[in-house]
Structure 1
Amino acid sequence: MSDDRLIALRFPVALVLSVVCLAVPAWADGQAGVDAYTRGDYATALREWRPLAEQGDANAQYNLGVMYDFAKGVPQDFTTARRWYEQAAAQGHAGAQNNLGGLYEFGHGVTQNSVRAYMWYHVAAAHSTGDAQKDVAAENRDEIAGRMTSAQIAEAKQLAREWKPLQK
């Protein structure tokens, strides 16, 4: 085998290994944040998740949104929660989509908007991978629908149909 061919074969292998090696510490940090959050060590969770969130990790973005939404180790700040939820929701994170729906439903950090709330709940229900999360989003959607006109529901469904996650 020629040296050129050997180098050509090694480059893809090295590239794959470097991606795997970079991903493992990111997962470890994310899990360290989960472990810290679970035991109530919110400062450590924040320290673990913030760099991941800033690098675009949807789970970390969602987790920071939850911390700011529910004042877990940080002052409650719905605007900051919304910012993190929006970034995770744009990547298709169903939990962030559901919680973003809640912010719109109750007007936390945004102008109250039932159409947007329904849209986000609908998107979350459609994109959830787990039955429990799908059920919660669908229940939220159906509950708010009881306070909406048929025209508002039609508008929200149209917005949900038009919504697309960011391409990675």
Structure 2
Amino acid sequence: MYSKGQGVPQSDEEAVKWCTKSAEQGNANGQYNLGNMCKNGRGVPQSDEEAVKWYRKAAEQEESYAQDNLGFMYLNGRGVPQSVQEAVKWYTKSAEQGNASAQFNLGLMYENGQGVPQSDEEAVKWYTKSAEQEDADAQFKLGWMHDKGRGVPQSDEEAVKWYTKSAEQGNASAQFNLGLMYENGQGVPQSDEEAVKWYTKSAEQEDADAQFKLGWMHDKGRGVPQSDEEAVKWYTKSAEQGNASAQFNLGLMYENGQGVPQSDEEAVKWYRKAAEQGDSDAQFNLARKYKNGRGVPQSNEEAVKWFRNAAEQGDSDAQSQLKEMSKKGFLS
């Protein structure tokens, strides 16, 4: 009651006081709650070691939430030496009691082969148990497994079903993937408007891929009125988070003066960021800028470097440019 301020003034210190009394008498719920207070530094100095101590006492009494949290502490090496085997042990104990969080976590361990032999089938088993209890992360993962045909037969319809359940609970990754399904007409009738709806929800939660996609939909006028300004807005948000496709497209907007004042310098800035991440289109455009001395000092050496990077990825235009520069004696 003190922890949540229900019926009394909120006080972490009072909450710790009464949790401690309960925990010291062996009450598993009190031990679990005291572990949380120690883990989060609420009412007591933060201490992973103390958190583990109390989680363990509760976990050994079969308190499923404490078992799940103890698994987390072992997985991340907090307050104990890191051990994926111990993490699996405690996640399993909790999951078998029906704890949805532990079921999801155990699914991740099987999917990634951490502490257990890798098994998509086991991952799906535990994701399903968790998803059926409305865990949004598990619903997303289960949708993804159906989407990719991992551990289950591939099914766009099942993917959409679980993505939708997760997306409606606010999971940004599920919202993005559901947007893709609507854009491509996979498992649902194709709808740019529905795609934009879900991309927007995800983008507003700072998902960089969704921000790029939303920018592209505004850029092309798909599902929304065409708007260079809106395209630039979302490309910028995504690009600043490191999305290479958004960085390249933002470079194009600056080069062409679409939705922003024309600027070769800004175009070069964003092409370079994308090029350094291996985007072949950005590498080609950056090479072109060096070749022509637009936004950067003219440099055949830099032009050749970036044309070559793009050409090695199979860019035919870059390969043609290299042949032309070779004829002029610019290749070393």
Q: How does 1:82-161 map to 2 (within 5 A)?
A: 82-128=232-278, 134-148=279-293, 152-153=295-296
Check conservation: 1:114, 1:148, Cα contact below 8 A.
Answer: no
Q: 1:89 offset after TM fit, Å?
A: 0.8
Q: 2:217 matched to 1:67?
A: yes
User: Which residue identity does 2:68 align to in structure 1?
Assistant: R
Work out the CA distance in 1 between the residues paired with 2:228 and 2:243: 18
Work out the CA distance in 2 between the residues paired with 1:22 and 1:55: 18
- Normalised TM-score (structure 1): 0.75
Structure 2 equivalent of residue 36 of structure 1: 182
Change in CA separation of 1:23 and 1:65 when aligned onto 2, cut-off 3 Å:
same
Which residue, 68, 77, 83 being the options, matches 1:10? 68
State the structure with more CA Rg: 2
Structure 1 gaps, min length 5: 129-133, 158-168
Check conservation: 2:215, 2:232, Cα contact below 8 A.
Answer: yes
Matched position secondary structure for 1:79? helix
Deviates more, 1:29-38 or 1:98-107: 29-38
Which structure would you say has the larger RCO, counting Cα contacts within 8 Å and 6 or more residues apart?
A: 1
Q: How does 1:19-58 map to 2 (within 5 A)?
A: 20-21=137-138, 24=141, 25=166, 26=171, 27-39=173-185, 40-58=190-208
Work out the CA distance in 1 between the residues paired with 2:194 and 2:136: 26
Check conservation: 2:208, 2:238, Cα contact below 8 A.
Answer: yes
- Normalised TM-score (structure 2): 0.40
Q: 1:59 offset after TM fit, Å?
A: 0.8
**CA RMSD after TM alignment:** 2.6
Q: 1:19 offset after TM fit, Å?
A: 8.0
Check conservation: 2:289, 2:296, Cα contact below 8 A.
Answer: no
Q: 1:29 offset after TM fit, Å?
A: 2.9
